[in-house]
Every structure is written in structure tokens, then in C-alpha cells.
Amino acid sequence: MKKSLTRDRIAQAGIAIADAEGIGAVSMRRVAAALAVSTMASYRHVKDRDDLVVAMVDAITGQTQMPTGPEATWREMTRTMALADWHAFAQHPWLIEVWSTTRRRMDMASLDQLELVLESLERAGMDRTAGSTVIFGVAGLTLGMAALMIEDPAIEVASGMELGEWRRQVGSDLGDRLRETHGRATRFMSDLHEHAGYATFVEVLESFLDGVAARHGAALKA
């Protein structure tokens, strides 16, 4: 029996193409071909390519299980959102490019998640300005570190060199030329791949959340 065409099926087909070839390879025509349907049939469920990308992000973000109930603390909620975003970037590196814009079109799953986190910050005693600052900080930290640490597989294929190997080579080249004048910087570059990963992200995230707690002090609940 032939499966009915749905927005989610279209989104999943788009995700598969983006994971394999990058977000630039995603088009309404490619997705329709992957599903063996006409392009016009797809337009009954998604308005255009931009809406297709929104549906793809919605399908990924919708997998996140956020803490529920009034006992969920602002820190637990914020951490869950950040870690989920990191794992999404790691599994789907093209998301980094999609999110790196000042005009990102929001999907419903992301809006649901944002509403829950903002509610937890408000419940903890933060006003709208403070809550927005935390959201901007966590989002920027997560996206920025992902952009520095997670590489799209297509780049590795095109370069013919694995990221760790490339980083070690660059660090070695810099060390050979500049070790005497820039010893600390060249050591940092040489060791970069050993520290550029999930554990470092978690450490930086916890430091940020510690800073939020310290800054707001007694006014912040849990």
C-alpha cells in the first residue's frame, strides 16, 4: 500500500538529502523525486523551499524531550535546550548554516521549546530583559561553539583530509614558524582538536549558567 504524502514525510526526505549532500542540495524537486511524487503534490503540504527547511528543522527539534511541570528549574530547562541543540548540530551539521542568520524562520517545535524555557526563567524571578539575555547567550554560545567544532562531512570529502588531521597539521606548521614568539598560541592550536568537542561545550555551558546564577544571586529561584 502506497504511503500517503504528508508534511513530515516530505521533511524527512529533505533531512536525508541534507545529511548526505548538504543543505544546498535540498530542493522541492529533489525531495519530490526521492518520494516518487510530483513536485506539485509536495506543494500541497509545503509552500516553498523555505517552508520545507522550516519543516525539516521542526521535525528535528520536535524530538527533544523537555522537562515538564513547575518543579523543572530554569537551569535544567536551559541546559536541556542547549544540549539538544548541540546534538542536533552534531547529527545534522547543515543546521549550523540554517540557524546562522538574522532572519531565521521559526518552526513550531522551536517556538514551543522557547516558550517553556522563557516561562521557567520568568518563574525563577527574571524579568523579560534578563530572560532574553539568557536566551541570546545560550543560543550564541551553542551555535558559535558548534560552528567552531562541528564540520559538515561534505567539507571533509572536498578537502580529502579529516578535521583532526587538518588541525594537527596547521598547529604543527604554526609551531615550526612561531613557537618562540607565540608559544602559548601555537600550543593552543596544536592541542585544539583534543579540546574541541562535546565535553568542552558542556564545561563552557555550565560556566555560563554558573555566571547567570551568580549575577542574579538571591533574586533567582532554583
List alpha helices for the chain, DSSP H.
7-21, 28-35, 39-42, 49-61, 74-91, 94-99, 108-123, 128-149, 153-159, 163-178, 183-195, 198-216
- Block residue for cell numbers 508534511: 7
Tell me: pLDDT of 222 over 70.
no
* Alpha carbons 52 and 189: distance in angstroms, whole number: 39
Question: Domains in the chain, please, with CATH?
Answer: 7-60 (1.10.10.60), 68-219 (1.10.357.10)
Which grid cell sits at 127?
A: 524579568
Mean of pLDDT over the chain: 91
Say whether pTM exceeds 0.85: yes
Which grid cell sits at 159?
A: 578537502
Tell me: pLDDT of 217 over 90.
no
Query: What is the per-residue pLDDT for 221?
Result: 66
The model's confidence at residue 1, banded by pLDDT at 50, 70 and 90, is: low
Which grid cell sits at 93?
A: 551539521
Query: What is the per-residue pLDDT for 163?
Result: 80
Find the mean pLDDT for residues 25-35.
97
Identify the weakest region by mean pLDDT among 68-77, 152-161, 202-211.
152-161
> Which residues contact residue 76 at a Cβ distance below 8 angstroms, ignoring those fewer than 6 apart?
67, 120
Q: Measuring CA to CA, which residue among 65, 50, 60 is closest to residue 108?
A: 60
Which grid cell sits at 201?
A: 561545550
Q: Give the pLDDT confidence of 170-200 residue by residue, as tens digits.
A: 888 888 898 889 988 888 887 877 777 899 9
The model's confidence at residue 202, banded by pLDDT at 50, 70 and 90, is: very high
Q: Which residue has the higher pLDDT, 221 or 129?
A: 129
Q: Give the pLDDT confidence of 91-147 residue by residue, as tens digits.
A: 999 999 999 999 999 999 999 999 999 999 999 999 999 999 999 999 999 999 999
The model's confidence at residue 70, banded by pLDDT at 50, 70 and 90, is: confident
Residues 143, 163, 91, 30: is their CA dihedral positive or negative? Answer: positive
